[in-house]
Amino acid sequence: MASQQKVWMDGKLVDYANANIHVMTHGLHYGGGVFEGIRIYETPKGRCIFRLREHMARFLDSAKVISLNIPYSLDELCEATKLTVRANAKSKVDYIRPIAYFGTGTYGLNPIKLPTSLAIAVVYMGVYLGEEQMKFGARVITSSWEKSGNRALALNAKVCGHYVVSVLARLEAVKRGADEALLLNADGNVAEGTGENIFMVRKGKIYTTPISAGILEGITRDSVMRIAEDLGMPVIERDITRSELMIADEVFMTGTAAEVQPIHSIDEMVIGAGKPGPITVKLQKLFSDAARGKSKKYASWVDYV
Ligand code: PPE
């Protein structure tokens, strides 16, 4: 129950009900904040956090990009996260949401004199796009909204304001009866999902879209690339078109929340055999084992709490 949960706010653990912010918070008005999403997995050795250090390093990088001063070191952020997870040991939670943003003090766009507020909360996310979708593949549409370019937004940073387009695209998907939306960039190439990177398998080779396509450098993307490389199938990073996805043998998405999510169809065009393909299933299994500390090779990816 959320009511029993604790949230880490600016150095203190507070009750969930008291983890509130002022309505005049700068970050709320202008989107000037950065966040992360990190998974917690239950294992026989207790709870573990997946690639905590990499997530917190990206958190600090995202903050740097928007000149948001974070008054904590990487080690301090990792420790605060572990403390928060431990403080919620009795709650059913599987996902950590660190967030930092320009706080309150002055009005108007200029954030220079504003203090930074930082919180670390835990929530229950479950299977992001649904259990059925995980088993049989998700239905995806191409959004009519364009993925902003790297000149408009610092897309490798996980900035709150960037997510307005993702929210619009996700709404579009839901209104059209689909599970998720795919965003194309100004060149007409595939960028990524609203909260996931994308991969395709074609003629035995695995491809994913490059950083230049306007994507977040996903940590799940990186993990899957490492696993695939170790299987002798290095992932090729190159531009992918929408119609290439339609004739791919397999398509899947990756993300902390989405994990390794098979795709059933894109704009009602069924992909491959219409069910999760063999490479997707293999990567899904290896990723799932790695995330739960079951794989010796990737043991350094998990932190037990
Ligand atoms: N692209 C975007 C735009 C994105 O938001 C995410 C994560 C990814 C790719 C995958 O990155 P990574 O998690 O490091 O593998 N999206 C987060 C937010 C989801 C949400 O609904 O909120 C996440 O998966 O935690």
Whether residue 62 sits in one domain with residue 142: no
Cα-trace Rg, the chain: 19
Task: For residues 100 and 6, state if they share a domain.
Answer: yes
Alpha-carbon distance 77 to 99, whole Å? 11
Shared domain for 254 and 137, answered yes or no, is: yes
Q: Are residues 117 and 135 in the same domain?
A: no
Q: Which atom of ligand 1 is nearest to the CA of 223?
A: 15
Q: What is the pTM of this model?
A: 0.97
Check whether residue 224 and residue 153 sit in a common domain.
Answer: yes
Would residue 139 count as lying in a domain? Answer: yes
Tokens, residue 273: 């055999």
- In a domain? residue 303: no
Please report, for the domain that includes residue 242, its CATH number. Answer: 3.20.10.10
Q: Which residue, judged by its Cα, is nearest atom 9 of ligand 1?
A: 196
- Ligand 1: which residues within 6 Å by Cβ? 37, 166, 192, 195-197, 216, 218-221, 254-258
Nearest ligand 1 atom to alpha carbon 58: 14
What is the best residue among 156, 256, 283 to mutate for testing ligand 1's pocket, by most ligand atoms within 8 Å of CB? 256
CA dihedral sign, ordered 153, 158, 161, 165: positive
Cα separation values, 265 from 1, 136, 177, 232, Å: 36, 10, 12, 28
Ligand 1 closest atom vs CA 221: 15
- Which of 123, 154, 177 is the C-terminal boundary of a domain? 123
pLDDT digit of tens for each residue in the chain (305 aa)?
677 899 999 999 999 999 999 999 999 999 999 999 999 999 999 999 999 999 999 999 999 999 999 999 999 999 999 999 999 999 999 999 999 999 999 999 999 999 999 999 999 999 999 999 999 999 999 999 999 998 999 898 999 999 999 999 999 999 999 999 999 999 999 999 999 999 999 999 999 999 999 999 999 999 999 999 999 999 999 999 999 999 999 999 999 999 999 999 999 999 999 999 999 999 999 999 999 999 999 999 999 99
Q: In this structure, is residue 304 part of a structural domain?
A: no
**CA-closest residue to ligand 1 atom 16:** 195
113 in the same domain as 139: no
pLDDT digits (tens, 9 = 90+) for 153-183: 989 899 999 999 999 999 999 999 999 999 9
Q: Is residue 50 part of a domain?
A: yes
- Domain limits for position 95: 2-123
Please indicate, yes or no, if residue 296 is contained in any of the structural domains: no
CA–CA dist 280, 262 (Å, integer):
7
**142 and 74 in one domain?**
no
CATH value at residue 29: 3.30.470.10
**Is residue 158 flagged as an active site residue?**
yes
Same domain, 19 and 159: no
Q: Are 49 and 83 in contact (CB under 8 A)?
A: no
Give the total number of structural domains in the chain.
2
Q: Which of 6, 82, 147, 158 is catalytic?
A: 158
Nearest CA to 218 among 35, 58, 34? Answer: 58
